[in-house]
Amino acid sequence: MARDSCLARVTAGVAVGGAIGGAVGAVYGTYEAVRYKVPGLLKIRYIGQTTLGSAAIFGLFLGAGSLIHCGKSY
C-alpha cells in the first residue's frame, strides 16, 4: 500500500511540475521569440522547444522532490 501511495505522489509531482513548467516555458518562449525577432514558422518551433524543455526539467525536479519526501515520515 505504501508503494502505491509513493508512486501516486511521484506521478502527481511529475504531472504538476510538467504543467507548471510548460506554462512558464510557453510564456518565456513567446517572449524570447518576439524579443529576438525569430522569423515565421520557426517562432512556433522555438516556443514548442522552450515549452517542452521547461516542462521536462521542472517535472523531473518536482518528481524527484516528491520521491525524496516519500521516505520521510512525520
Integer Cα distance of 9 and 11 in angstroms: 5
pLDDT digits (tens, 9 = 90+) for 3-45: 668 999 999 999 999 999 999 999 999 999 999 999 999 999 9
Choose among 60, 49, 47: nearest CA to 20: 60
Output the pTM of the full model: 0.87
Residue 13's alpha-carbon distances to 4, 6, 16, 57, in angstroms, are 14, 10, 5, 12
The reported pLDDT for the residue numbered 20 is 98
Integer Cα distance of 13 and 15 in angstroms: 5
Q: SS3 for 35?
A: helix
Domain edges within the chain? 18-69
Quickly tell me which residue has 506554462 as its cell: 23
